[in-house]
Structure 1
Amino acid sequence: MSVVGFDFGTQNSRVAVVRGGGVDVVCNEVSDRVTPYAGDAARTLQVGNFRNTVINLPRLIGRLSDEPAVAVEQGFETCQLAEKEGVVGAAVSYREEDAVFSNTELVGMFLSKLKAITYAETKLPVSDVVISVPSYFTEKERRSLIDAAEVAGLNCLRTVNDTTAAAVCYGMMKTDIPADKPKNVIILDIGFSSLKMCVASFLKGSAEIKGHAFDMSLGGRDFDEVLANHFAEHFLETKKVDIRNNKKALLRLRVACEKIKKILSGIQKTKLDLEALIDGEDFTLVAERAQFEELSMSLVDRVEKTILELLQKANISVEDIDSVEIIGGCTRIPSIKARIAQIFGKEASTTLNADEAVSRGCALLCAIDSPLVRVREYKIADTVYFPIKLVGDQNLGEVEIFPAGSNTCETHTFTLTLDHSISFPLNFEAHYSDLTSLPAGTPSQIAKFTVTAPKDLEINESSTMVFDAHVNSSGLVDITKPRVEVTTAVPTDEEGKEEAKTHVTSLSIKVETFRLPRATVQKMKDAEIAMSLHDRLIAEIDDRRNAVEEFIYEARNKLEECYSEVSSEQERESAGSALMTAEDWLYGEGAEVGKEEYVKKLDELKSIFKPFISRIVERAKAASVDSEASTPYSVEAPQMDMD
């Protein structure tokens, strides 16, 4: 069984596995260590088939179709977003029919792809996995991701904040972590669509996250967009055409601007030509680093603002920060590095692999959680970003069970006073208590809890209900062990004296969360399996078709070169005619037949050429028997697959 970590990024994902005493990042089918959401094959075709290409999956997971963030994402998506069962999805053409897939289904498909990549590399079953998420993910998004993992046949041991995963990678891989004095490090991650950062306090064998901060709408694509808008305005001024009104042209421009952004991180000036960008017009993009830095100044200011917010939330000063570790592709921009150096008075550190630290940290956490491997003990304490309160009915009021900055995985015990007016069942709702800190449009409700009691339970003025609350390692709220404690005075052996005795009655609790019904998840899982089998069948048909085509071209080349001495002219003409007939069939009525037809056709062709191969082999054997001395040349049969 593999021990796996998935870096669930906005534009790309990475897979890491723990094996052989280390952590390896897995290569996909094209030997790339990064897998885009469109898939390598689909990304190649994205410009030509942009209406059926879905990207930026994490930006939509768990989102309702009417949330403001969905409208923002539509501006970056090339397909049409749609609603399915109340949540956002994508309207595409699948097998020549219109279809709408929910984002949970789409993420499940992509996780299935990552699962297949992992199996192809490790040759071991893939089940347990730890998946990274942005620190701004709420309960609904995290639970939707867990549902998607189940659709893919994966057991998500935990969802972990991506900066926390990077902190685990830092703490477990570094050899210079002190054992006495904490080392305070900022992990700063600017990816494709968002900025996330945390302050981590390291001691040997442990790490404590002091605080998180983020800007969920500041990432590499926003830097690309300032360039794209600049060039679009220039194109509008010179050509009187607005590229932004043409999705295909805009997509090509954004891809070019991303490339320019990366080039300008290394040199001062660059030029890029786009042929026939729109209406047959060519466009040359010329950009200088100084110009780009001026255009993106407001974005860099937002990076500084988020850093200052982080320091405030973590209650730590600039002077107490020992290092700023930067990860994520966008941190390679020189103006961002310069601003970090200006704030902290020292250069940003790049000792972590900027692209792979998160996936490696996820794999290490999977190893810690999994019983399959043994790793050295490492303790990680994360914090709650969004404060959480519990609201009860029957005038029970509300209580904040997790203020912002609370440690996760710590159990908090709460007591509520009951009286005769209270009757079971009792209903509680967990809510985010600070709506201003939530992403716009996010519902405040987290979960519902219904508490029931035995029928013979009696409530008096000394009755209290006690329960335990905690946020688990996935960032999910749970209420456990509800019980009623009744304290009564009991006479003692001493005359006239009493002692207090507490009787505890356990209660039952039913939890309702944002997880999908099991029947719905199973339906999605069955559909994913059916689509995977169909894709596999298509791949097998393509392989068999390619095998027929390859045999035709190879046999035709060898017909005169290798078979002329072992065949008559009539036999060669007959074989050549058979090849021509097969080729016409392959590109005609045989273009869309089943796998069995291609296998049958290949066998027919092999049977025609098998006598030629046998004669050459016989000649070679006879030559070796007749000749005792070595000859200046040897006769070999042509290398063709005749199995």
Structure 2
Amino acid sequence: MGRSIGIDLGTTNTVVAVLHEGRPQVVEDDKGYRVLPSVVSVDDFGTATVGHAARNKILTDPDRTVYAFKRLMGRRFDSEQAVEARKRVGYEIRPAADGLCTLRLGNQVLTPVEVSALVLQTAKEMAERALGEPVDEAVITVPAYFNHQQRAATFEAARVAGLRCERLLNEPTAAALAYGFRRDSDRTIVVYDLGGGTFDVSVLHLSGGVYEILATKGDTYLGGEDFDYRLVDYLADHFQTQTGVDLREDRTALQRIKDAAERAKCELSFTDRTTVLVPRITPQHNLELAVTRLTLESLVEDLVDRTLDVTRRALSDAGLQLSDIDDVILVGGQTRMPRVREAISGLFGREPSRGVHPEEVVAIGAAVHAASLTDRDDAPQHVLIDVTPFDLGIDVIGGLFQPIIPRNTHVPTSETRAFATSQDDQEAVRVTVRQGDSRFADENEFLGEFIMSGLTPAPRMQTKVEVTFRIDSNGMLHVSAMEPGTGESRRITIRN
């Protein structure tokens, strides 16, 4: 049996870690890099390049190079998020036969699952080179707010990459595991995870090796990419005012501005002012503009406020006050922005913890959990009590939404509800499942339709069907159904 590793499959970067001689270590590649850019490029011959070499091709081959595809995992082509992505990225996003997204890389058309698998395969190979032994198992982290389709897509990507995914671990939970590793403490903490493409916040209680998640909230389409694009629009609007040319209409120009904006954003974390210079952005013009930290902060202040609002709601769901929190853990590269740290300090009235590495802590926590699932004598021992982050329910009469499993219910969990036929001699029942907080069904996210067929014909309201929703420890939804009158079980078809 090969080694088990922890993988933080991120929107911007992927990090791999392993527990070696009782200590978690981040894996380096053969050039000494500790992060693997989550970027894939394909050449004319169909050969894929992953990581740093692929990232270098974003500017030179924007239509062959994909990035931020984690944001499209499990997303429908007509979703609000996919529509927005099509305006922003240099590669083409196409509809798949099942309504999800595909990505065009030159002559190749791949799914987000397939390109994610290429990144996971490269991460696996990195670990095998570093450890000198096979790797076949992994704990892979996902945003706490990932839904059923997104989690299923991550499982499938691991399978395609040749990895047996032992567990999907929520990213804030992984960060808490790293924070609490070898600490004997009794503390209530908040994990504020603002990465490249997603945002999660979890409220946890740590005591004696037990990690109990009290509440989780999040937004799977809010992250550093959105901060970048605020600056992209600022630069493009300035250039359009000066020249009449909208650089966002040219894919290559857009990627050059995106690259310059990301570098400027990072520089403004360490200086009050920087100059963005993109030479020959058009045959006649350079793009040159001085940007201050205050300007950047004004452009993204509403995004920062959105994260604070989510944090307050998570605390409310946990039944806690700001003063009840002992420590705040910042996770994700975007938390290096001074304005983000200032906002969190202002909210909680204290400086956040500096005891963890924002970009590595999630992978380290995944490695700790991966080791705990083995039968090794030195395996760390801990107990995770996680929650489902959203209401899971069904459509009911009047276009309303009826929660079946409320958000922040401990997982694994299951709940059964009985339904009755609404027509005489009805032979099938359709149950539409959604997640969300609204009372109105169509305002919540559609997850699938569950069809129970072959019912016993009878007058309306006489035939009953018991449908069971079960969420496992990976946050995956499972469904079964039974007609109590006959004791017969039926297969339910799940259609995305």
Same fold (TM over 0.5): yes
CA distance 1:464–1:287, change in 2 (3 Å): closer
Partner of 2:372: 368
What pairs up with 1:260-279 in 2 under 5 angstroms? 260-279=264-283
- Separation (CA, whole Å) in 1 of partners of 2:327 and 2:185: 12
- Separation (CA, whole Å) in 1 of partners of 2:196 and 2:226: 8
2:58 is the alignment partner of 1:55: no
Partner of 1:493: none
2:85 is the alignment partner of 1:73: yes
2:406 is the alignment partner of 1:403: yes
In the TM superposition, what is the alpha-carbon distance from 1:425 to its structure 2 partner?
A: 8.6
2:152 is the alignment partner of 1:143: yes
Which ranges in structure 2 are unaligned for 5 or more consecutive residues?
40-50, 457-462
% identity of equivalent residues: 25
What pairs up with 1:215-254 in 2 under 5 angstroms? 215-254=219-258
Partner of 2:127: 118
2:491 is the alignment partner of 1:510: yes
- Separation (CA, whole Å) in 2 of partners of 1:218 and 1:415: 34
> 1:417-437 CA deviation, whole Å, 9 max, x = no partner?
999x99999867471254649
What secondary structure does 1:3 align onto? Answer: strand
> 1:249-269 CA deviation, whole Å, 9 max, x = no partner?
221122112111111111222
Partner of 1:185: 189
- Separation (CA, whole Å) in 2 of partners of 1:249 and 1:415: 54
- Separation (CA, whole Å) in 1 of partners of 2:279 and 2:34: 30
In the TM superposition, what is the alpha-carbon distance from 1:285 to its structure 2 partner?
A: 3.3
What secondary structure does 2:350 align onto? Answer: coil
In the TM superposition, what is the alpha-carbon distance from 1:227 to its structure 2 partner?
A: 2.1
2:293 is the alignment partner of 1:304: no
What secondary structure does 1:352 align onto? Answer: coil
User: Contact conserved, 1:130 with 1:363, CA < 8 A, in 2?
Assistant: yes
- Separation (CA, whole Å) in 2 of partners of 1:64 and 1:446: 12
In the TM superposition, what is the alpha-carbon distance from 1:439 to its structure 2 partner?
A: 13
User: Contact conserved, 1:426 with 1:451, CA < 8 A, in 2?
Assistant: yes
User: Contact conserved, 2:430 with 2:450, CA < 8 A, in 1?
Assistant: yes
CA distance 1:217–1:437, change in 2 (3 Å): farther
TM-score (normalised: structure 2): 0.85
What pairs up with 1:150-549 in 2 under 5 angstroms? 150-171=159-180, 173-178=181-186, 183-371=187-375, 374-389=378-393, 400-412=403-415, 414=416, 416=418, 429=431, 431-432=433-434, 434=436, 436=438, 444-446=446-448, 448=450, 469-479=469-479, 508=489, 510=491, 512-513=493-494
User: Contact conserved, 2:64 with 2:105, CA < 8 A, in 1?
Assistant: yes
CA distance 1:236–1:88, change in 2 (3 Å): same
CA distance 1:12–1:440, change in 2 (3 Å): farther
- Separation (CA, whole Å) in 2 of partners of 1:338 and 1:164: 24
- Separation (CA, whole Å) in 2 of partners of 1:428 and 1:130: 35
CA distance 1:18–1:280, change in 2 (3 Å): farther
- Separation (CA, whole Å) in 2 of partners of 1:296 and 1:80: 27
Which ranges in structure 1 are unaligned for 5 or more consecutive residues?
393-397, 456-462, 487-504, 516-643
In the TM superposition, what is the alpha-carbon distance from 1:190 to its structure 2 partner?
A: 1.0
- Separation (CA, whole Å) in 2 of partners of 1:370 and 1:141: 26
User: Contact conserved, 1:368 with 1:377, CA < 8 A, in 2?
Assistant: yes
Partner of 2:116: 107
Please, what is the CA RMSD of the aligned residues?
3.4
Greater relative CO (CA pairs within 8 A, separation 6+): 2
Partner of 2:47: none
2:52 is the alignment partner of 1:40: yes
- Separation (CA, whole Å) in 2 of partners of 1:226 and 1:345: 28
TM-score (normalised: structure 1): 0.67
- Separation (CA, whole Å) in 2 of partners of 1:440 and 1:58: 25
What is the letter of the counterpart of residue 143 of structure 1?
A
- Separation (CA, whole Å) in 1 of partners of 2:246 and 2:404: 53
- Separation (CA, whole Å) in 1 of partners of 2:252 and 2:439: 36
User: Contact conserved, 2:427 with 2:454, CA < 8 A, in 1?
Assistant: yes
CA distance 1:371–1:464, change in 2 (3 Å): farther
What secondary structure does 2:270 align onto? Answer: coil
What is the letter of the counterpart of residue 142 of structure 2?
V
Say which structure is richer in helix. 1
> 1:577-615 CA deviation, whole Å, 9 max, x = no partner?
xxxxxxxxxxxxxxxxxxxxxxxxxxxxxxxxxxxxxxx
CA distance 1:332–1:14, change in 2 (3 Å): same
What is the letter of the counterpart of residue 406 of structure 1?
T
Partner of 2:105: 92
- Separation (CA, whole Å) in 2 of partners of 1:417 and 1:102: 37
CA distance 1:383–1:276, change in 2 (3 Å): same
What is the letter of the counterpart of residue 90 of structure 1?
L
In the TM superposition, what is the alpha-carbon distance from 1:294 to its structure 2 partner?
A: 2.4
> 1:193-229 CA deviation, whole Å, 9 max, x = no partner?
2321111111121111111122333321222222222
- Separation (CA, whole Å) in 1 of partners of 2:122 and 2:268: 33
User: Contact conserved, 2:435 with 2:444, CA < 8 A, in 1?
Assistant: no
In the TM superposition, what is the alpha-carbon distance from 1:23 to its structure 2 partner?
A: 1.5
2:139 is the alignment partner of 1:130: yes
What secondary structure does 2:352 align onto? Answer: coil
What is the letter of the counterpart of residue 84 of structure 2?
V
In the TM superposition, what is the alpha-carbon distance from 1:291 to its structure 2 partner?
A: 2.4
What is the letter of the counterpart of residue 474 of structure 2?
S
> 1:10-38 CA deviation, whole Å, 9 max, x = no partner?
11111112222122211124321111122
Residues paired across the two proteins, number: 476
- Separation (CA, whole Å) in 2 of partners of 1:205 and 1:101: 42
- Separation (CA, whole Å) in 2 of partners of 1:452 and 1:22: 56
